[in-house]
Homo-oligomer: A and B are copies of this chain.
Amino acid sequence: MNQQGQPGSAIEETLRVVGDRWSILLVRAGLRGIRRFDDFCDDLGIARPVLTDRLRRLVKFGIFERVKYQDKPVRYEYRLTEAGLALSPALVALVRWSEEYSQDVSSETTLVHAPCGTELEQAFWCRSCQTTFGPNAVKGVGVNRES
């Protein structure tokens, strides 16, 4: 799929799992506390067969886990794993982008620093330099073009 033996297959792999219209929305729903099949279904308006498939895939890749939460009629629910929770920075970045650049929709500031209510910004942090910096100082996504 990637012609030249370049690196970068990791995201391709990841996007194959998470790179569709629903998966990220499912993670977001998970973060909002939704756990049960029908609730995902109602909340997102996703078709049931698709939901079945996505959840199975997300479980397989360790983003959700299927947990029995009751015995009498055996019932399972889906919870975000640690790996799933770890997707939240990506989610936050997307939400922020949406608010800033997505046309049409009313862009209200919804993401804030909980303690103080200020709109948050996102930055990269270097623990050895003890500084924050922006995307231009990142090497590896590709800003180092070698064309």
**Chain A residues proximal to chain B, CB less than 8 Å:** 1-4, 7-16, 18-21, 24-25, 28-29, 31-33, 42-45, 61-62, 83, 85-105, 107-108, 110-118, 120-129, 132-133, 135, 137-147
Q: Report the Cα distance A41→B93, complex, angstroms.
A: 27
One complex includes copies of this chain to the number of 2
Chain B residues, Cβ within 8 Å of A95: 10-11, 140-141
Q: Report the Cα distance A2→B105, complex, angstroms.
A: 14
Given A15-B25, A141-B91, also A118-B123 (CB < 8 A)? no
Q: Is A113 a contact of B124 with CB atoms below 8 Å?
A: yes
Q: Is B92 a contact of A114 with CB atoms below 8 Å?
A: no
Count chain B CB atoms within 10 A of each CB in A1, A117, A121, A126 and give the residue with the most.
Answer: A126
Given A92-B138, A128-B118, A137-B113, also A13-B144 (CB < 8 A)? no
Which chain B residue shows the least CB distance to A147?
B33
Chain B residues, Cβ within 8 Å of A2: 43-45
A104 CB contact (under 8 Å) in B13, B117, B121: B13
The smallest beta-carbon distance between A69 and chain B, in angstroms, is: 13
